[in-house]
Structure 1
Amino acid sequence: MRSNIRLTLRVGASIAFIAAATFVLNRLIPVNPTTAGFLYLVAILLVATKGGLVESTVASVAAMLCFNFFFLPPIGTLTIADPQNWVALFAFLATSLTASQLSARAKRRALEAEQRRGEVERLYALSRALLLVETSKPIAKQIVQQIALTCEVPGVALYVRASGEIYRAGLADTDVESKLRESTVRSTVLEDADRNLIITPIRLGGEPIGGLAFSGGAFSDAALQSLLNLVAIALERANSQKAVTQAEVARQSEELKSTLLDAIAHEFKTPLTSIKAVTTDLLSGMPGDLQPHQHELISIADESADRLSKLVSDAIQLARIEGGTFRLNLGLHFPSSLINAALRQMKSVVDERKIEVLVPDDLPPVRVDGELIQVVLTHLLDNALKYSPPSNPITIGARLSDNKIIVYLSDQGQGIAEEEQKQIFEKFYRGRNERHLQGTGMGLAIAREILRAHGEDIALSSFPGQGSEFSFGLRIAPGGISQ
């Protein structure tokens, strides 16, 4: 309605301008028809420059009528006596209409160029503002605020599909939320001409990641697409920044935990060594030096010291592995020597169990860190001893396969359910039905990390009621003898 009124006023002004020019040319400064025709053309160009195509066209018709009435004989009528004047009149009309159209087109292009320049400047300012947003505050909220401020848009709303949240800046329509979600899911543009509202999806890599609604703003198609790309990049940057921050926090937390664990474990080592020395000395004394109940109590303290010492050693091993402070000391070792060394370390607990060792004598040596591989074997042995009945034998052996030595350890326990087989290698996991058994749940995690440092991993084959077999490969040394 307002635009129609403004157009009517501009048309009236152009007619008034032609009327004023006619009065000047006819009354104040009398001129001949040729001069009047040129001056009318100048007036039409001025109208086209200040107005538009409609105004200049109306002015051309009005100027043609005035030119005919006041300057072409017979004067004072709209008839033309000389046929040549008809040609001149229509030539004047054609020239004035063409000139007005060309002038209006030039003006329109100049206005469009100015609008494009303004859009580019606003988009540049917006891109700079989005690069400088504060990561400590919600980035999506800052995006809508910057769009409203930089692009001079009265109302903006942003829907982030990943979080399901909607952020607003001056757009309080209640039905915008449902339309934003609809536009995002359907990946279509929704428009409401009555409220000058546009809702468009935001895409990244061809997938809709959200929706943007704005009212009271006008963007060209290219500018709108550029704006959506900036918003998509800003949201993706926010997600990346969040992931990096979470990863850094997790890394620092893991480092702190490993450092604390290592420090506490080392603090336990010294008193444990003293306790073990005292209990060993007391138990190695003369048989009559201790009463039976005293001997039993000291034996319990001695066994508890052993368990606590193993727990502390596991904690130190795990802290060093997670902290990346342990290094491989590679050397040449025969598989039989590694297995026998592990059995000797476990002598106090394996003497009462039946252990079958199946290692051929002609196996070639492997290039590994001998001490760490012995740690792997002791953890696997300890696990088998805990989770298999005392009357059932445990088998440990090695065989040659595909240029590797496969070391395996099998038991005849209850087996491990399929859904638990991946979890048992996680830190502190002890099995769903075995909470009553002693242990920390660190042994298999330590064993797996040691083997991964060698470029290998642990394989598990287990079925409920049929026992379990753990196995891992060791690379054959290119040559040499055992240490």
Structure 2
Amino acid sequence: MRVLLLIPSRESSMLLPTFADQMSPRRKMATSALACVLVGLAAAPLRGWLDPANVVMLFLLTVLVVAVVLGRNPAVLAAVLSVLLFDVFFVPPHFSLAVSNLQYLITFAVMLATALITGHLAATLQEQAADAGRRERRTRALYEIARQLAGALNDLQVREIVEGFITAEFAGRCQLLLGDAVGDDAAAWLVPARVAAVHAAGTRQIDGAVIYLPLKAPMRVRGVLAVHPGNTLDEAELAALDGLASLVAIAVERLHYVEVAQRSELETATERLRSSILSALSHDLRTPLTVLVGLADAIVLAAPGLSGPALDSARTLRDQAGRLAGLVANLLEMARLNAGSVTLRQEWQPLEEVVGSSLKLLGDALGRHRLRVDLPRDLPLLRFDAVLIERVLCNLLENAAKYSPADGEILIAAALAGDFVELSVGDRGPGFPEPFSAQVFEMFVRGDGESTTPGTGLGLAICRAIVDAHGGRMRIENPAGGGGRVVVSLPRGEPPVVEAEVM
């Protein structure tokens, strides 16, 4: 007895499951039984000319075809029916289950075993071919969506691509949530607490029929993809969803960094243009302003030849020219700092010296303000550019004098704070407006935009640029006792060891 094993081609393995999937299980069993009956009826008139072994081959072929087309259970039914039909129509006595020769029992057993094994192998191969086809199709779909996500220009396009994929592959719906919060436009089937938990844990979770997948990018979790499939998913389909979530996470992170790069490039170009304009204007205005200040001073010095109103006008002209010259100097200094053309001349030196030189430089600029200096004796040496830090202190002291009562107290204090030394300048004025904002350190930004106190909003910007160049940082505070305070933190570093003098 020879058994013919047919292996379906790739094309047939892709088409036959599609045909069989459209049939219900009951219809598959009925089709299997009908196929066996038709083969038996077709071969019955030829039993006088066909050898029983050839009839067995016809039934085995039927079982194989049923296994390939309809699957395992219909193939088992076909195997049993084939044995029964062979016994009834082709084994004497005909039309009876009885046998005239007991050797036919061995034939029935071998036929049944062969049919079952053949059907099982064929059905297994068919299932494996169908699984491979599904995996290949899903892999191709993932490759296609990866190509589409690589060309996405914004988050809206990413959402449209993902929704189309979920609809086509899983007959479901989804929602892409960037971040850990659920917006007002979220679907009713979403659970906000679950979204936050998945975003925090970074692991896939299943809540009833909804699957929550974290968008784990190389840097951090970018959000959550919630999927509501149209039917129950197996492990392979869940793995495909995990792959989809990884592709979406990479696409979202790419868009984020593209946006950051574009914004940074725009800010850099804007800052460069602004610095260029400020530098050009400052250079062009510096010479005529110097001449104007000199002429104003000369007019004031010629006071004996001027009447009272003329002398007052001359003094006003000198004061305003001086203020304008200071503004231009600040603009030029800011342009130089932003351009990075300032070279720091850093040396290890005590902080007390630069505080003293700053107070001498200000002279009478502090007016009637009471000045108090609180510098600990154990302050270490710091490495800084004395001229630039002196400029920082002068600006902070001038601001404190402007925004505090004429006879108020100005406090200069210093303290150790970890790897930094904090130098603060505080006053008894109204303090900084709430809430505190880092914008107060930007150019042309003032703490109180409606203040009548003269100023241009460049002082703190220059101070921050200088402190940043030293590797330090600045912050503003409103102490509990009232007033305002600006704190400058300078890095301590490792000062050199000063050897004691030998007497």
Please give the TM-score of this superposition, normalised by the length of structure 2: 0.74
Q: For 1:438-453, list aligned pairs within 5 A.
A: 438-453=454-469
- Select which of 141, 149, 157 maps to 1:122: 141
2:165 alignment partner, one of 147, 150, 171: 147
1:369 partnered with 2:380: no
Match status 1:385 vs 2:396:
no
The 5 Å alignment of 1:85-234 reads 85-135=104-154, 138-144=156-162, 147=165, 157-162=174-179, 177-180=187-190, 184=195, 188-189=206-207, 191=209, 199-205=210-216, 209-213=224-228, 220-234=237-251
CA distance in 1, matches of 2:164, 2:123: 35
Cα pair 2:43 2:55 within 8 Å, conserved: no
The match for 2:290 among 261, 273, 290 is: 273
Asked if 1 retains the 8 angstrom alpha-carbon contact of 2:445 and 2:457, the reply is yes
Deviations 1:95-129 (A, max 9, x none): 32232122212211121122112222221222222
Verify: 1:426 aligned to 2:444, yes or no.
no
Partner of 2:308: 292
CA distance in 1, matches of 2:380, 2:243: 66
**Residue by residue, what CA displacement relative to the aligned partner does 1:141-174 show, whole Å, maximum 9, x if unpaired?**
442376279x66777543325486799xxxxxxx
**CA spacing shift, 1:89–1:463, aligned 2, 3 Å:** closer
Code of the aligned partner of 1:382:
E
Contact kept in structure 1, 2:44 and 2:90, CA below 8 Å: no
Greater Cα offset, 330-339 or 224-233: 330-339
1:62–1:477 CA distance, 2 compared to 1 (3 A): closer
- Does residue 76 of structure 2 align to residue 57 of structure 1? yes
Q: Distance in 2 between matches of 1:232 and 1:35?
A: 62
1: CA distance between counterparts of 2:452 and 2:90? 118
> Structure 2: which amino acid aligns with 1:225?
D
* 3-state SS, counterpart of residue 138 of structure 1: helix
Shift of 1:56: 2.0
Contact 1:381-1:409 within 8 A present in 2 as well: yes
Offset at 1:64?
A: 1.3
2:95 counterpart residue number: 76
Query: Do 1:462 and 1:469's aligned partners in 2 also have CA atoms closer than 8 Å?
Result: no
Amino acid at match of 2:466: I
Tell whether the 8 Å contact from 1:32 to 1:71 is kept in structure 2 after alignment: no
Q: Is the 8 A contact 1:139 1:235 kept in 2?
A: no
**Residue 382 of structure 1: CA displacement?**
0.7
SS of the residue corresponding to residue 206 of structure 2 reads: coil
Q: 2:449, 2:262 → 1: CA distance?
A: 37
Q: Shift of residue 372 of structure 1?
A: 0.6
Equivalent in 232, 256, 271 of residue 239 of structure 1: 256
**Quick one: which amino acid aligns to residue 45 of structure 1?**
L
The gaps in structure 1 that reach 5 residues or longer are 168-175, 192-198
Show CA shifts across 1:80-109 (max 9, x none).
233333343233223322321222122111
Between 388-397 and 271-280, report the one with greater CA deviation: 388-397
AA aligned opposite 1:54 = N
Deviation larger for 155-164 or 72-81: 155-164
Aligned letter for 2:393? L
- Pairwise mapping of residues 332-351 of structure 1 onto structure 2 (< 5 A)? 338-347=354-363, 349-350=365-366
**Which amino acid counterpart does residue 50 of structure 2 have in structure 1?**
V
Q: Tell whether 2:53 aligns with 1:34.
A: yes
Q: Between the two proteins, what is the percent identity of the paired residues?
A: 25
The offset of 1:279, in angstroms, is 0.8
1:450 positional shift: 1.8
Contact 1:338 1:374 in 2 (8 A): yes
Partner Cα separation in structure 1 for residue 271 and residue 152 of structure 2: 29
> C-alpha separation between the residues in 2 aligned to 1:353 and 1:81?
131
- 1:415·1:468 contact (CA, 8 Å) conserved in 2? no
Q: How far off is 1:473 after superposition?
A: 5.5
Distance 1:268 1:215 in 2: 73
Distance 1:398 1:15 in 2: 99
Go from structure 1 to structure 2 and tell me whether the alpha carbon gap of 1:326 and 1:420 turns closer, same or farther (over 3 Å shift): farther
CA distance in 2, matches of 1:404, 1:147: 54
The structure-2 alpha-carbon separation of the partners of 1:332 and 1:86, relative to structure 1 and needing over 3 Å to count, comes to closer
CA contact (8 A) 2:382 2:491 kept: yes
Distance 1:306 1:39 in 2: 114
| Equivalent runs, 1:5-20 vs 2, <5 Å | 8=27, 11-12=30-31, 15-16=34-35, 19-20=38-39
Q: Which amino acid aligns with 1:95?
A: T
Match of 1:67 among 74, 86, 99: 86
Q: CA contact under 8 A between 1:48 and 1:55: conserved in structure 2?
A: yes
Q: CA deviation at 1:435?
A: 1.9
Q: TM-score, normalised by structure 1?
A: 0.76
Matched residues in 1 for 2:373 and 2:36: separation? Answer: 114
Deviation at 1:461, TM superposition (A): 8.3
Task: Describe the SS at the equivalent of 1:178.
Answer: coil
1:410 and 1:185 mapped to 2: Cα distance? 43
Which ranges of structure 2 fall in alignment gaps of 5 or more residues?
A: 1-20, 198-204
